[in-house]
Chain A
Amino acid sequence: DQQVKQNSPSLSVQEGRISILNCDYTNSMFDYFLWYKKYPAEGPTFLISISSIKDKNEDGRFTVFLNKSAKHLSLHIVPSQPGDSAVYFCAAVDDYKLSFGAGTTVTVRA
């Protein structure tokens, strides 16, 4: 049973608008969360992370929000750009193991 879930397989957004990607988790032992971005035929690349003791982390156009009580996190991309079109994976850390969600494919329309 997947412990990290991304329930939206795809998201289409207009260039310049906000992209919001959601992620839910079930394991209360997770203490660190990360977002990875993946282009076709390439390995994932790290985007942004957040510790379980924080509720927000910002890096340029990317902001991650964590709601521990709801076991929910989200990634906001503002403004969305054509180069943001990719698959985004949510991931969570328990000890030395990383658990990934199924991914959300983001398409940014011109």
Chain B
Amino acid sequence: NAGVTQTPKFQVLKTGQSMTLQCAQDMNHEYMSWYRQDPGMGLRLIHYSVGAGITDQGEVPNGYNVSRSTTEDFPLRLLSAAPSQTSVYFCASSYLVGGLAATNEQFFGPGTRLTVL
């Protein structure tokens, strides 16, 4: 079991560039989510998915798109990068039990450190 994998580990972009952060899990988890971590802010939910074909917005969705075509993969797209999107991004996954996915132990990936110049 590789768990939750994220690529790349580090990325530097210029303002206006686009890119996709990859996230994959091999635990057959229904629930997947993306967070960003900024100093003094903790982790903030960007988008989440309760299954293939179903996504929804979290606390800070602006500037980010997601899709979930398979159970395993949940990519995060930055369409036009801005310096405010400089952050560490974490992907997480978990099983769904009784509809309260987040109450299960969520497994986090190692993170992607993104810098936008």
Residues of A within 8 A of B (CB): 2, 4, 6, 9, 31-32, 34, 41-46, 49, 51, 89, 91, 93, 95-103
Q: Whole-angstrom distance between the alpha carbons of A98 and B102 in the complex?
A: 6
Contacts of B99 in A (CB 8 A): 96
Known: A43-B90, A44-B90, A96-B102. 12 other contacts (CB 8 A): A9-B40, A43-B92, A43-B108, A44-B43, A45-B108, A46-B107, A49-B105, A96-B48, A96-B99, A97-B48, A97-B58, A98-B45
Contacts of B101 in A (CB 8 A): 96
Q: Whole-angstrom distance between the alpha carbons of A91 and B108 in the complex?
A: 14
Task: Please state if A103 and B100 are interface contacts (CB–CB under 8 Å).
Answer: no
Q: Which residue of A lies closest to B33 (CB)?
A: A98
Task: Please state if B43 and A89 are interface contacts (CB–CB under 8 Å).
Answer: yes
Task: Please state if A32 and B45 are interface contacts (CB–CB under 8 Å).
Answer: no
Task: Please state if B56 and A44 are interface contacts (CB–CB under 8 Å).
Answer: no
Residues of B within 8 A of A (CB): 4, 31, 33, 35, 40-45, 48, 50, 56, 58-59, 90, 92, 99-103, 105-111
Q: Whole-angstrom distance between the alpha carbons of A107 and B34 in the complex?
A: 28
Contacts of A100 in B (CB 8 A): 35, 42-44
Q: How far is the CB of A42 from chain B (nearest CB, A)?
A: 6
Task: Please state if A103 and B42 are interface contacts (CB–CB under 8 Å).
Answer: yes
Q: Which residue of A lies closest to B106 (CB)?
A: A46
Q: Whole-angstrom distance between the alpha carbons of A43 and B90 in the complex?
A: 7
Task: Please state if A49 and B103 are interface contacts (CB–CB under 8 Å).
Answer: yes
Partner of A93, one of B4, B58, B102: B102
Task: Please state if A93 and B103 are interface contacts (CB–CB under 8 Å).
Answer: yes
Q: Which residue of A lies closest to B105 (CB)?
A: A46
Q: Which residue of A lies closest to B108 (CB)?
A: A43
Partner of A89, one of B4, B42, B50, B100: B42
Given contacts A43-B90, A44-B108, A45-B108, contact A97 B43 (CB under 8 A): no
Centre residue among B33, B42, B45, B50 by max chain A CB count within 10 A: B42
Q: What are 13 A-B interface contacts by the 8 Å CB criterion?
A: A2-B42, A6-B42, A31-B100, A32-B102, A42-B110, A46-B105, A46-B107, A49-B103, A49-B105, A93-B100, A96-B31, A96-B48, A102-B42
